Amino acid sequence: MPTSDVIDFRLIGDDMQLVEVTLDPGETVIAEAGSMTYMDSDIEFEAKLGDGSSGDTGLMGKLFSAGKRVITGESLFMTHFTNRGRSRQRVAFGAPYPGKIIPVDLRVNGGELICQKDAFLCAAFGTKVDIAFQRRFGAGLFGGEGFILERLSGDGLAFVHAGGTIVKHDLQGETLRLDTGCLVAMTADIDYDIQSAGNLKSMVFGGEGMFLATVRGYGSVWVQSLPFSRLADRMISASRVGGRSADEGSALGGLGRLFEQ
């Protein structure tokens, strides 16, 4: 019997998506702090320590659960949105940067999803949001995701956000190699590791970094085309002190800047 609330939803938008969740009376959805976009009048929200999936575990239990989220860089608190009215009510959550929101039914994905530490957006009440440690030192050190990932477990819907376009790969024992920052999420039976990106020349001049991530096994893997770190690097490299140059956009602008001293 399901332990998570059964919620309805619709995705709105394309490159800057939001997910609109419809709650029956008494139903609750949990979300990252600050992700709410709008909500109907009978929706009430409360910031709580933890996701509430374990019931009343006492103050120390809640602090321990919430403290693990701080390790991943997330807020100590998670916001619970509950329909206190007598009719169905809506609450919507927005993506933090350009990309896609993907709904994942945990029940049909083995009850567990491992995702990058900033991918979780919201989920049905009853979903457990925990941390997962990399089992291999090399994958944690060079894998782009660090030693700590997020683990979502339960039997309801969870919503994950990532940059650019998201592609789902269903592996049947084969191996998939990808850029270390492009891995969004994977089911629990997928084995994750890293390997060198070829010979020394390819590693230094190939533009793909020194390592590639490898995923293999039986299960599903979600891959993003534009990791936020890559987007941020491009924005920083394109910015200049003093704002927009006078010759910005001109055909000789770049050449002219070679002689600026």
Give CA angle at 229 (207, 220), nearest 5°: 90
Residue 80 has a pLDDT of: 96
Mean pLDDT score of the chain, rounded to an integer? 79
Contact 16, 45 (CB under 8 A): no
Tokens at 125, concatenated? 């009440």
Cα–Cα nearest to 124, from 148, 164, 91: 91
- Supply the CATH classification number for the domain 8-239: 3.60.160.10
Hunting for tokens 């650019």 — which residue is that? 164
Average pLDDT estimate for 135-160: 70
Contact 169, 218 (CB under 8 A): no
Residue 58 has a pLDDT of: 55
- pTM score, two decimals? 0.78
3 state SS of 49: strand
Average pLDDT estimate for 92-99: 90
Cα–Cα nearest to 72, from 120, 14, 39: 120
Given pLDDT bands bounded at 50, 70 and 90, which one contains residue 121? very high
3 state SS of 209: coil
